[in-house]
Structure 1
Amino acid sequence: MGSFFKNFLSVFLSNTTSIALNFLSGILLARLLGAEGRGLLSTLLVVPTIIFSIAELGIKQSAIYHLSNTMNSTKDVISAMINIFLGASIISFIACFSIIFALNMSSSVMLSLLICLFIPSKLWISYSSGILLAKQSYKEFNHLNWVPPVINCIGVIVLVHYLKMEVVGAILVLLASNLFLSIYAFIIITKRYEIEFGVSIVLIKSLLKKGFVYALALFFVQLNYKLDILLLDRWVSSAEIGNYTLGVNLVEQIWLVPTAIGTVILARTANSKNSLENTNEVLVILKISFILGFFMCFLAYFLAPIFIPIIYGKEFSSSVLVIQYLLPGILIFVIFKVLNSQLAGIGRPDIALKVFIPAVMLNIVLNIILIPSKGVIGAAIATNVSYFASVVLIIIFYRRIHSLPYKSIIMISKYELQQFYKILKIK
Structure 2
Amino acid sequence: MTGASFAELTTLRLGGPIARLVTATTQRDLVDLLHGVWGSGEPWLVLGGGSNLVAGDEGFDGTVVRIATNGIEVLPDAPEGSVRLRVQAGENWDGFIAWTVAHGYSGLEALSGIPGSVGAAPVQNIGAYGQELSEALLGVWLLDEGADAPRWMPADELELGYRTSVLKQGLAGVVVAVEVQLHDTAAERAVLGEAIGRPIAYAQLAAALGVQPGDRAPVAKVRETVLALRGSKGMVLDPDDPDSVSAGSFFTNPIVTERVARTLPADAPRWYLEPEQPDEVVPLSRLASHSPLDAFLELQAELAAADEEPAADAAPAEPLVKLSAAWLIEQSGIRRGFALPGSRAAVSSKHTLALTNRGGATAAELAELARYVRHRVQAEFGIVLHPEPVLVGVEI
TM-score, normalisation: structure 1:
0.27
- Whose RCO is larger (CA < 8 A, sep 6+)? 1
More strand by share: 2
TM-score, normalisation: structure 2:
0.29
More helix by share: 1
